[in-house]
Amino acid sequence: MPFNLGFSELLVILVIVLLVFGAKRLPEMGAAMGKGIREFKRSLKDVQGSIEGGSSDDLPAGGSSRHIEQTGRSGDPKKLSQ
């Protein structure tokens, strides 16, 4: 178990969350968290694909990978420097 929490500790945390947010609100919160996690994973895959899909021609003249070209939501390429 993460953080060395046993079943009884997790049960107490669940009861406290249930009392604070209510039974009707918990499914909505779970769905929102699931959507957020899926969007985060999707954006990570997009960034990883754009980095792996780039050729050596995209690198600066020195051959360094300090500048990464990334496409934003508007479709305009943006230069990110590290």
Mean pLDDT of the chain: 77
Q: Is the pLDDT of residue 65 over 50?
A: no
Q: pTM (2 decimals)?
A: 0.46
Q: How far is CA 28 from CA 21, 22, 34, 49, 73, in A?
A: 10, 11, 10, 32, 27
Task: Provide the residue ranges of all domains of the chain, joining segments of one domain with +.
Answer: 23-50
- Average pLDDT, integer, range 48-70: 60
Residue 16 has pLDDT above 80, yes or no: yes
Q: How far is CA 34 from the centre of its chain?
A: 11
Q: Answer whether 35's CB lies under 8 Å from 45's CB.
A: no
Kindly report, residue by residue over 24-36, the tens digit of the pLDDT. 898 999 999 999 9
